[in-house]
Structure 1
Amino acid sequence: MNWLKKLPGYQRTPYGFEVRLLRMMPSVLLAGVALPAAVAGLARVVFNQGTVDEIAHNIQTFDFVMLGLAIFIWTAALTVAIGCIIVWLMKGPAYVADAYEVSHSDKPKS
């Protein structure tokens, strides 16, 4: 039995936007970490007004927001990547499924 028998006469669909998106994902993931980290570093220069406790609280709050943003970007990018992989697989070659004979297919029981 040949499990991977391709459908005769099937023409493969050309790849499109999903492949371009998949190729962009490493850059998006890197930017999803680098940009919030750079903004968090910049916050240490900007938040310099107030007492030491207020400055530490503001910086820590901003760091948590940037960490949440980085996790959100990674989650969104991985979700898009999974969708692109599914579309890429669906555009692959078609395969013939083996027929399964059902005993009552011609004469269903009443």
Structure 2
Amino acid sequence: MKYFNKLPGFIRTPSGLEWVLFKKLPLIFSIGTAAPCAPMLIIYLGNESLSREQQQVIYQLLGVLFSVWFLVGAIAIGCIVVTIMKGPAYVADPYELPTENKSLEQYPN
């Protein structure tokens, strides 16, 4: 038995924006990671003790950093889903339906 039976005559959809975006994700990830990390390193390495305002800036930058990571991950998942959906169509194995029993249709449940 073949597990993946491709639908005969199915025309595969050409790739579009998802591949362009998927190829740019490493650059977006690296720039999005470096931008908040640079000020955090400057604050950490420039001071021996951190003030309350500096700690707040660090926490906000950590929030930006995690938001960028979440956004890149969500976009990557979306690109993968679109790529899979544009792939070839598959046919499931046929399922024979049971014969109808007309006597059961006379009485509602």
Is 98-107 or 29-38 further displaced after alignment?
98-107
Counterpart residue identity of residue 85, structure 2? M
Q: How does 1:1-20 map to 2 (within 5 A)?
A: 1-20=1-20
Q: Which amino acid aligns with 1:76?
A: L
AA aligned to 2:40 is: A
Give structure 2 stretches of 5+ with no counterpart.
none
**1:108, distance to aligned residue in structure 2 (A):** 9.2
Answering whether residue 24 of structure 2 is matched by residue 31 of structure 1, we say no
* TM-score normalised by L of structure 2: 0.80
Q: How does the TM-score come out when normalised to structure 1? A: 0.79
Confirm or deny that 1:40 pairs with 2:35.
no
- Note the residue ranges of structure 1 that are not aligned, 5 or more in a row: 45-51
CA RMSD after TM alignment: 2.5
Runs ≥4 in structure 1, deviation > 3 angstroms?
39-42, 104-109
Instruction: Report the residue type matching 2:25 in the other structure.
Output: M
Give how far 1:106 is off: 8.5
**Mapped partners of 1:108, 1:32: distance in 2:** 67
- Residues 37-81 of structure 1 show CA distances to partners (whole Å, capped at 9, x for unaligned) of 123356x4xxxxxxx98x611111101000010000110110111
> In the alignment, what sits opposite 1:72?
67
Closer/same/farther in 2, CA of residues 79 and 9 from structure 1, 3 Å limit: same
> CA offset at residue 35 of structure 1?
0.4
Deviation at 1:105, TM superposition (A): 6.1
SS in 2 for 1:9: coil
Percent sequence identity is 38
Equivalent residue letter for 2:60: V
